[in-house]
Structure 1
């Protein structure tokens, strides 16, 4: 059996999960993935921004392959990824859009690890695996805290 055959079953299994189950499953995958590299990049941005969300997203706009927009200062942002960096997709193993939940969960993990006192909601607006030109995530700070 080829490894790609195994992933066909993985895709079918993911398709059977409800949204809450997928979020739970991919939260662990996303956390593990981001800890392997990109978390350090975001930690550096956080330090440079001194914890200021607007500055953080302005600086993220300078990262290669990333674009960001401040939609509403202090609370709503768009984060774009110009290509899918998921190795499972890049190596041809998984191509269903449900895999994008992993990216969503990795962003949530990064945000919660940097701003422990804040709460965020991330919405997948567009994704390459859905046929869009890029991935677009809407990030909203959902608490009213000033810290």
Structure 2
């Protein structure tokens, strides 16, 4: 499955514009963004290493397709790809890496990702 294309189609007209506005409101600073918008009903973000490493995720699975059933943890690659897409749009001059730490579909309580910004 092409998770990258699936992820882009899922977030380009919904999540991306909101996140871009929030990022702009924070002066295009990821640390400020984490402080201001790091704890919402649908997502979380916290600074691990200033300007470089963050933990981001969801307090529960937010993917309607996954929640409909029949998906295993490999499907969480779609969430990883959506994070990469959004963050690359927020910071086009940076190299973004996103690593899955744990997900609801893998049996965890929440979905957690390590984000590295270079």
TM-score bucket (shorter structure): over 0.9
Matches within 5 A, 1:47-126: 47-92=24-69, 94-126=70-102
TM, length-normalised to structure 2: 0.93
Deviations 1:98-124 (A, max 9, x none): 010000000000011111111110000
The equivalent of 1:139 in structure 2 is 115
What residue ranges of structure 2 are gaps of 5+ in the alignment? Answer: none
RMSD: 1.3
**Alpha-carbon distance between aligned partners in 2 of 1:68 and 1:112, rounded to the nearest angstrom:** 16
Residue 68 of structure 1 deviates from its aligned partner by 1.9
Residue 59 of structure 1 deviates from its aligned partner by 2.4
Aligned length: 118
Determine which structure has greater relative contact order: mean sequence separation of CA pairs < 8 Å that are 6+ residues apart, divided by chain length: 2
**Alpha-carbon distance between aligned partners in 2 of 1:27 and 1:33, rounded to the nearest angstrom:** 10
The equivalent of 1:129 in structure 2 is 105
Residue 56 of structure 1 deviates from its aligned partner by 1.5
What residue ranges of structure 1 are gaps of 5+ in the alignment? Answer: 1-13, 15-24, 143-147
**Greater Rg by CA:** 1
Give the helix-richer structure, 1 or 2: 1
Where does structure 1 differ by over 6 angstroms across 4 or more consecutive aligned residues?
A: none
